[in-house]
């Protein structure tokens, strides 16, 4: 054990010579300087070992005992460290820099992770967190997690809960989205159900109010299908007008309709032709520091495509706040070319079918027959979609006033 301790502290092997060398040993004992491995060479000289830290004190004692000292060797961890400090100062500086990075930079946020969101995007949440100071590069101990979460929630009405947990260089953000409440209708506001499109009624069902048409009738857009006015009929022998009842009309109205949708495109279009001239620009972003390279690179002329590609550094399966950006600029000129009629018509037909599907989905309907009409006029291609559909055509339209019973006018003008 003593040998291991001496190796860690470091020691010097010396040779002492003098007329009375034993006086040096006595002085070492009196001053409590430990020495070991004593070997006599002759009557006036010997070798021994002493700790590296006692080397200066031994020189003073050697002068007092009129002995000369000469070093044979130095060994131990302290000796190796001293040699490194003298010869490899760059290595020592690097070690100091690493220690600084570990002790200081580890207190800054490097990664902000968001979990628990579905409908609202992570980018929106990160943008709001950045406004309240939770971002890569922020000083972690200065962030009060609860206060930052509450402040961020004020700008995100789509969220009902947020918790921020900081673990060293990583901030974990857990969110819960707000459940959408169904829209409540004000039953005190009178309303009618009005036709949203022309059609032939197939089924009309009034849940509240009075149906103004029957199955099989033809209706036009804007006509009242279910009225909110209910006339209260008096008995045959009655003499008093009971007035009428105003309600908020509601119900379902299914009709056969004919939809006409149209798309147009120009027959001649401008097409890009790349000249082959190209330049690239590189950039690195670390935390809040942006470094751009080849900033002066440019393309002559005014037309070019700019393509940006950003990749985040990922180490050990975890993203780090380092982004590499490559921006490519490709020069081009514009030339006019006739549009491919068949390809253009196919694209427009597909777009019209998508529009029709969205329309039927919104009106809880279906299209059971479609037809396309293609024509060319005034330098443009036009495609018209004719569709026979079955859909819900009723739309609730509110009007001024309040629901309730209304009486007819009397002779004195009262109600």
pLDDT of residue 86: 60
Distances from the Cα of 131 to the Cα of 6, 125, 134, 149, 151, angstroms? 58, 10, 7, 11, 9
Q: What confidence score (pLDDT) does residue 392 get?
A: 94
Distance CA 58, CA 26 (A): 12
CB atoms within 10 A of CB 249: 27
Mean pLDDT across the chain, nearest whole number? 82
Is 385:264 a contact under the CB 8 Å cutoff?
A: no
Is there a contact between 391 and 200 (Cβ–Cβ < 8 Å)?
Answer: no
DSSP β-bridge partners for residue 251: 206
351: enclosing H helix or E strand: helix 341-362
Are 228 and 209 spatial neighbours (Cβ–Cβ below 8 Å)? yes
Which long-range contacts (C-beta less than 8 Å, at least 24 apart) are formed by 312-318? 318/111
**pTM passes above 0.75:** no
| 51 sits in which H/E element | strand 45-51
Give pLDDT, residue 412. 42
What parts of the chain have a pLDDT lower than 50?
Answer: 410-415
Q: What's the pLDDT at 413?
A: 41
Residue tagged 């009629």 (tokens) = 341
Query: Going from the N-terminus, what domains does the chain have, and what CATH number goes with each?
Result: 2-82 (3.30.70.2280), 106-177 (3.10.20.310), 263-267+339-391 (no CATH), 271-337 (no CATH)
Q: What is the pLDDT of residue 384?
A: 94
- The two structure tokens encoding residue 198: 């022309």
């Amino acid at each position: 054990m003593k040998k291991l301790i001496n190796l860690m502290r470091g020691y010097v092997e010396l040779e002492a010579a003098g007329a009375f060398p034993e006086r040096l040993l006595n002085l070492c004992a009196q001053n409590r300087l430990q020495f070991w491995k004593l070997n006599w060479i002759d009557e006036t000289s010997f070798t021994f070992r002493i700790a590296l830290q006692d080397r200066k004190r031994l020189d003073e004692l050697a002068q007092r005992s009129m002995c000369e000292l000469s070093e044979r060797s130095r060994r131990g961890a302290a000796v190796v460290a001293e040699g490194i400090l003298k010869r490899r100062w760059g290595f020592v500086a690097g070690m100091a820099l690493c220690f600084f990075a570990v002790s200081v930079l580890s207190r800054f946020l490097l990664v902000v992770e968001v979990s628990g969101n579905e409908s609202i995007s992570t980018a929106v949440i990160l943008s709001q967190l950045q406004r309240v100071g939770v971002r890569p590069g922020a000083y972690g101990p200065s962030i009060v997690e609860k206060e930052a979460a509450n402040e961020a929630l004020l700008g995100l009405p789509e969220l009902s809960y947020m918790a921020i947990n900081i673990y060293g260089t990583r901030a974990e953000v857990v969110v819960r989205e707000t459940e959408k409440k169904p829209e409540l209708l004000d039953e005190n506001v009178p309303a009618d159900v009005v036709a949203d499109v022309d059609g032939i009624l197939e089924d009309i069902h009034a849940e509240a109010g009075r149906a103004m048409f029957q199955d099989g009738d033809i209706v036009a857009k804007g006509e009242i299908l279910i009225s909110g006015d209910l006339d209260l009929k008096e008995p045959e022998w009655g003499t008093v007008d009971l007035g009428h009842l105003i309600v908020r009309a509601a119900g379902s109205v299914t009709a056969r309709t004919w939809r006409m949708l149209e798309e147009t495109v120009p027959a001649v279009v401008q097409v890009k032709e790349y000249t082959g001239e190209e330049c690239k620009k590189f950039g690195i972003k670390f935390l809040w520091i942006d470094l751009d390279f080849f900033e002066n690179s440019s393309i002559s002329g005014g037309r070019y495509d700019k393509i940006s590609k950003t990749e985040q550094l990922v180490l050990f399966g975890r993203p780090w706040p380092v982004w590499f950006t490559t921006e490519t600029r490709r020069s081009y000129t514009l030339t006019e070319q006739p549009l491919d009629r068949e390809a253009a018509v196919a694209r427009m037909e597909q777009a019209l079918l998508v529009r029709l599907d969205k329309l039927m989905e919104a009106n809880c309907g279906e299209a059971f027959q479609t037809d396309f009409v293609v024509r060319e006029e005034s330098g443009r291609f036009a495609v018209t979609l004719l569709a026979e559909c079955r859909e819900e055509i009723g739309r609730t339209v509110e009007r001024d006033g309040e629901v309730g019973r209304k009486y007819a006018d009397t002779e004195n003008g009262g109600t």
